[in-house]
Amino acid sequence: MAALGPQAERTRLAAAGARSVTRAAILSGQPLKDVIKGRIFYALLLLALGLALLGLAALILDAVIDGRSMLSLDLLTNSASRISPETAGYANAIYGTILLIGGVLVMTVPIGIGSAIYLEEYADRTKWWNRVVELNIQNLAAVPSIVYGILGLAFIVRGPLDLGFILFAGSITLSLLVLPTVIIAAREAIRAVPPSIREGSFALGATRWQTVRRQVLPAAIPGIATGVILAVSRAAGETAPLLLVGAATFVTFDPTVFGDNGYTALPVMIFNNAKQAQPEFHVLAAAGIVVMLAVILLMNSFAIWLRNRYEQRW
Amino acid sequence: MVTTTAIVISLLEPSIDFFGQVSLKEFLFGTAWAPTFTPPEFGVLPIVLATMVTSFWGLLVAIPLGLGAAIYLSEYASPRARKTIKPTLEVLAGVPTVAIGFFALFFMRPVLEDLLPFLPWSGPQAAGVAGLAVGLMIVPIIASLSEDAMSAVPTGLREAAYGLGATKMRVATRVVLPAALSGIVASIVLATSRAVGETMIVLLAAGASPNLTVGFTESVQTMTAFIGQTATGDIATGTVTYYTIFAVGLLLFLMTLILNMISIRLVRRFHEAYD
């Protein structure tokens, strides 16, 4: 052993050296250039995400700061006014939005869920017309909202239905706008119910309808609810189509569903105030935005929370 | 199904009346847009160009920010960070556009003028500012959909690349990005379609003067802004102005239809590749 001493020493040294060099090459041995490039890339990614979030946060903060002098309960209970923006509020507009959304819910929930059940549970996907319907719905979901406004103007306000500029016409227009979203979301929810649940139900002698009614629908409810809430929050924030179907008029009273003396909605009123020349109206608009954002972001958060909570149940 | 047919009919019928009074050539190639003036001019080019300019600025901002955010979320973020940031982005995607328009007009416009005083700022409205605001609107769409596409890239591809000694950045840019490309492009095309069809932001922040210009600080009128502006005024049914809304609407519908079809096709292809 003693004779081998220096040699062993050298061997150990060589082994350690070889080991550390190899390790260094594998673990941290990326050329310095690559390490720096990687760091810069990472910083740029963080910057991109930061800027995106910062821009949207600035939007909310700006509305709160601009509108803070008007933020009080009076804002929700006072009527609109052209003359004194200091005492004006959004009571009529909020009431109008609630009526509009009520109409949207009544129309889209049954039609949306019905279509989704048909497409998922009953439709034969090898038939070409069902594929056309599918493509069609996907495409409708991405048609600009103002085109729905034109449709509403030509078909609902005038043309075949000839309802005139009433709140109900606005409700139908918004329903058409969000219906594809509701159908797509409801279909996803129904599709996520595993086939084994259906097969189990069939094996116990249930009919197709009983299976859908008692097994598939209850299991898909959270998913469908998510879609409906997101659709409603979209309808609540839409302005453009309403401009075309009559919500542009200045209204200082609570609108009714079929009344033909004009109606308005919260986002339309905000738009009208933002367009006025006097800065007091801009404060009013900012305060309205805070109210609208609070409601809509809360609805969206609830919907997304619901989705994430039920995401992996099976 | 009924809705599409109704949209097509409702756009086509009045458009035919419109083209009975204004020639297609004048509509598509005329360079002046003044349908309410006497004598009226019906050249659609200024408002189409305005739509393209605002969408261009929007995409210029939204593509790098959206993709950067998507790569970070899919490749770098810890599961916990991802679980909080992605829903936040999705919630913010629901901000009504009238709020973004207000923000563009009363916050972004003055701030940008302070930052870039050498630009020829004039009136309160500017095409570029509206475009940047449109970008802010579509960032969450690009980020969220691209992140979905990148997360769908099989882990095996990443591991293989690491096994060959690739750095994290190289895996992200040379492996994940190309593999998710069709999904990413689809998200960008869909975002473009949203930008083209966006009304409230451009109505508030880009203005109502149909100028044939590509300037950043100039006031322009986009196709959607024209429809919104004209419809809020009182116009009698049956006049040429009334029909103009439908002709412009038809053109807008066709433009977004093509974009949507491309996007749907791309998404379908990317589903087939990895499912």
Residue B10's H or E segment, with its range, is helix B2-21
Range in A28-42, A123-137, B3-17 with the lowest mean pLDDT: B3-17
| Span A103-113, average pLDDT | 90
Which amino acid belongs to residue B241?
T
B33 φ/ψ angles, rounded to the nearest 5 degrees = -125, 105
Cβ–Cβ contact A101 with B under 8 A:
no
Cβ–Cβ contact A161 with B under 8 A:
no
Most confidently predicted of A11-15, A54-58, A77-81, A250-254 = A54-58
Spatial distance between the Cα atoms of B217 and B205, rounded to a whole number of angstroms: 11
Closest CA of chain B from A216, distance in Å: 24
Spatial distance between the Cα atoms of B223 and B198, rounded to a whole number of angstroms: 10
Task: Say whether A296 and B95 touch across the interface (CB within 8 A).
Answer: yes
Percent of chain A exceeding pLDDT 90 equals 5
Residue of A nearest to B143 (CA): A49
Question: What confidence score (pLDDT) does residue A278 get?
Answer: 81
Question: What confidence score (pLDDT) does residue B205 get?
Answer: 85
> Within chain A, what is the greatest distance between any pair of CA atoms?
111
> Within chain B, what is the greatest distance between any pair of CA atoms?
72
Higher pLDDT, B35 or A39: A39
pLDDT at residue A150 tops 90: no
Q: Which of A26, A138, A147 to mutate to test the interface with B (most CBs of B within 10 A)?
A: A147
Q: Report chain A residues whose CB lies below 8 A from the CB of B224.
A: 144, 146, 240
Write down the pTM of the prediction: 0.81
Report which of B136, B98, B135 is spatially closest to residue A286, judged by C-alpha positions: B98
Strand partners, B34: B41
Report which of B242, B249, B193, B241 is spatially closest to residue B225, judged by C-alpha positions: B249
Residue of B nearest to A51 (CA): B65
Q: Report chain A residues whose CB lies below 8 A from the CB of B166.
A: none
Give the DSSP per-residue string, A283-299.
HHHHHHHHHHHHHHHHH
Angle (CA) B248 B254 B259, round 5° = 130
Task: Say whether A46 and B256 touch across the interface (CB within 8 A).
Answer: no
Cβ–Cβ contact B189 with A under 8 A:
no
Which of A 246-275 lie inside 8 A of B, CB atoms? 248, 267, 270-271, 274-275
| Span A29-47, average pLDDT | 82
Range in A170-179, A243-252, A287-296, B71-80 with the lowest mean pLDDT: A243-252
Task: Say whether A63 and B99 touch across the interface (CB within 8 A).
Answer: yes
User: What ipTM was assigned to the predicted interfaces of this complex?
Assistant: 0.82
Report which of B256, B273, B238 is spatially closest to residue B17, judged by C-alpha positions: B238
Cα radius of gyration (chain A): 30
Which of B 19-58 lie inside 8 A of A, CB atoms? none
pLDDT values of chain B reduced to their tens digit, one per residue, 275 residues:
556 666 667 667 677 766 666 667 666 766 677 766 666 777 778 888 888 888 999 999 999 999 999 999 998 988 888 888 888 888 888 888 899 998 988 888 888 888 887 777 777 788 888 899 999 999 998 998 899 889 888 888 888 988 888 888 888 888 898 888 888 988 898 899 889 988 888 888 887 777 777 777 778 888 888 888 887 766 666 677 777 888 888 888 888 888 888 888 887 776 555 54
Binning pLDDT at 50, 70 and 90, where does residue A16 land? confident
Spatial distance between the Cα atoms of B165 and B182, rounded to a whole number of angstroms: 26
Residue with tokens 């084994």: A196
Give the DSSP per-residue string, A117-142.
HIIIII--TTSHHHHHHHHHHHHHTT
Binning pLDDT at 50, 70 and 90, where does residue A121 land? confident
Spatial distance between the Cα atoms of B156 and B167, rounded to a whole number of angstroms: 16
Q: Report chain A residues whose CB lies below 8 A from the CB of B150.
A: none
pLDDT at residue A170 tops 70: yes
